Amino acid sequence: MRLPTTTLQNCLRVSQRSSTFLRIRRVSPTGFNCYSTNAPPTVEVAGKSFQRDEWTNVPPHIISCVNRSLHLTPSHPIAITRALVERQFIGPVYKSYNNLSPVVSVHQNFDSLGFPASHPGRSKTDTYYINKDTVLRTHTSAHQADIFAAGESKGFTVAADVYRRDAIDRSHYPVFHQMEGARMWSRSEVPGSDIAAAVRADLEKLPKHNLVVEDTTSVFHEGNPLQPEHSAKECEAIAAHLKRSLEGVVVEVFGQAKKAAIAAGEAKEDDAPLAVRWIEAYFPFTSPSWELEVFWQGEWLELLGCGVVKQSLPNNAGVPDKLGWAFGVGLERVAMLLFGIPDIRLFWSKDGRFLSQFKEGQISRFAPFSKYPPCYKDVAFWLKTSSSPAGGSLAQFHENDMMEVVRDVAGDLAEDVRLVDEFVHPKTGRKSLCFRINYRSLEKTLTNDETNALHESVRNALHERYGVELR
């Protein structure tokens, strides 16, 4: 379930399927890459061997991230953020799942959640396929049906690394971390099957707070409907329990963040009190649904998405008597806010100047240790057509294909990639694209020779993989 980085907003972006990958000259440290025609018949991921096929598109630089487990690394900002949120959802009501394998089946990642076979989110332009039946999870919700079916607790949280082909900029990375949580009630387990009364009783047990809350939303209406399997009283009670639970997360997380900002001289004790507001939203797995925004350092920031779980999910998991709520949050987004970290690439840095700034259980503001100069390079090319140049249809090329070429060649030395121009020739129908790449190291100043060599490798990779005509 996913926001820009959350679990609930997994309306995976509409995108085109990329053309068949051709051989690329650049090779991985193991001597091959996922686009090569002479790659071995199997691919090794997380210590296991998987058979390659025509769907395999996961490159070595992504596989190398699988075992990093930043959300479990002591004193790492991602792990600190996870622990802060997780602290609000403790046992025995909630069970935490933090070590689930990122390798999941297509059924777990898509089918169990009701994604139709034609859904564009299944495209190779968005998802890293190990083979036609197996992917690197694109969301923590890939584990939801299994957890519902296991029924090991009334509620749960899942924190994990997730993988998506995406843009290159300071707030996007092909590997990021999500955390989702759910609280369920069973009609067969509550007195008199009265879910509404059971939820209200549990609501009274939740801690009270003095948070300023702005909520003008309706619990449900035509645009954010009550599900036919639920009564109005059940939905209202579940919504109230959900909102109080997540408001408690804000009190804990941003209360500590404000203390850190005050200590760093970035805030004052008498600043405006911590406030949140609820916004109606749409997510594919909940109805009704909301987003929670927090007023932080002078502006409203989107924090997470949540809602009443679509009854089809527990039904498909074989537990149709259960109903409840779920939320999803992107840990990178929260960590960047809490610690003042300006570039998502920093989370993956092994530089001691970054890692030494953080301590388990504490929030401290990031102190920039250096800012190396950017180096901008443009690459323009004509797309290959699927027939003759004189009016042939354009071959498919997705922006994420460009991102993967740059990542494969430059890795984290690419800070930002943007499409700056596109043009269709009025006579031939051929399409030209121009991308601007900002090369910048987090650890040193790149020389002209280094940057030119990287850029030339990107140009060559584009030509060899997609048959483009460089300009």
Q: Over the stretch 235-245, which tens digit does the pLDDT of each residue have? A: 999 999 999 99
Cα angle at 170 between 167 and 171, to 5 degrees?
70
In this structure, the answer to whether residues 348 and 377 fall within a common structural domain is: no
In this structure, the answer to whether residues 345 and 407 fall within a common structural domain is: no
In this structure, the answer to whether residues 340 and 379 fall within a common structural domain is: no
Percent of the chain with pLDDT over 90: 75
Which of 6-20, 228-242, 251-265, 361-375 is modeled with the greatest confidence?
228-242
pLDDT given at position 20: 23
On whether the CB atoms of residues 91 and 157 are closer than 8 A, the answer is: no
The whole-angstrom distance between residue 361's C-alpha and the CA centroid of its chain comes to 24
In this structure, the answer to whether residues 235 and 313 fall within a common structural domain is: yes
Is residue 109 domain-resident?
no
pLDDT given at position 14: 26
pLDDT given at position 298: 85
Residue 372 bridge partners (DSSP): none
CATH of residue 337? 3.30.930.10
For residue 284, whether the previous peptide bond is cis, meaning omega lies within 30 degrees of 0, is no
The whole-angstrom distance between residue 426's C-alpha and the CA centroid of its chain comes to 39
Whether the per-residue pLDDT at 3 is higher than 50: the answer is no
Is residue 26 domain-resident?
no
Whether the per-residue pLDDT at 274 is higher than 90: the answer is no
CATH of residue 440? 3.30.70.380
Q: Which range of residues forms the domain containing residue 74?
A: 68-102+137-220+230-356
On whether the CB atoms of residues 50 and 34 are closer than 8 A, the answer is: no
DSSP H/E element including 421: strand 414-424
In this structure, the answer to whether residues 312 and 435 fall within a common structural domain is: no
* pLDDT, mean of residues 333-352: 94
Among 196-205, 212-221, 263-272, 297-306, whose mean pLDDT is lowest? 263-272
* pLDDT, mean of residues 107-133: 91
The Cα 100–Cα 347 span in angstroms is: 21
Is residue 209 domain-resident?
yes
pLDDT given at position 34: 58
Is residue 62 domain-resident?
no
In this structure, the answer to whether residues 310 and 438 fall within a common structural domain is: no
Q: What is the maximum span of the chain, computed from C-alpha positions, in angstroms? A: 75
In this structure, the answer to whether residues 341 and 384 fall within a common structural domain is: no
Q: What is the mean pLDDT of the chain?
A: 88
Final residue before a domain boundary, out of 302, 322, 356: 356
CA distances for 367 relative to 224, 282, 331, 358, angstroms: 43, 37, 20, 10
Is residue 10 domain-resident?
no
Please count the structural domains in the chain.
2
- β-pairing, 375-382 with 469-470? antiparallel
| Main-chain phi, psi angles of 303, to 5 degrees | -110, -50
Whether the per-residue pLDDT at 330 is higher than 90: the answer is yes
pLDDT given at position 26: 32
In this structure, the answer to whether residues 313 and 451 fall within a common structural domain is: no
pLDDT given at position 114: 84
In this structure, the answer to whether residues 307 and 452 fall within a common structural domain is: no
Is residue 38 domain-resident?
no
HSE toward the beta carbon, residue 352, CA cutoff 13 A: 0
The Cα 14–Cα 116 span in angstroms is: 13
Whether the per-residue pLDDT at 249 is higher than 90: the answer is yes
pLDDT tens per residue across span 157-208: 999 999 999 999 999 999 999 999 999 999 999 999 999 999 999 999 999 9
* pLDDT, mean of residues 354-373: 92
Whether the per-residue pLDDT at 383 is higher than 80: the answer is yes
Whether the per-residue pLDDT at 282 is higher than 80: the answer is yes
pLDDT tens per residue across span 43-86: 999 999 999 999 999 999 999 999 899 999 999 999 999 999 99
pLDDT given at position 392: 42
pLDDT given at position 116: 84
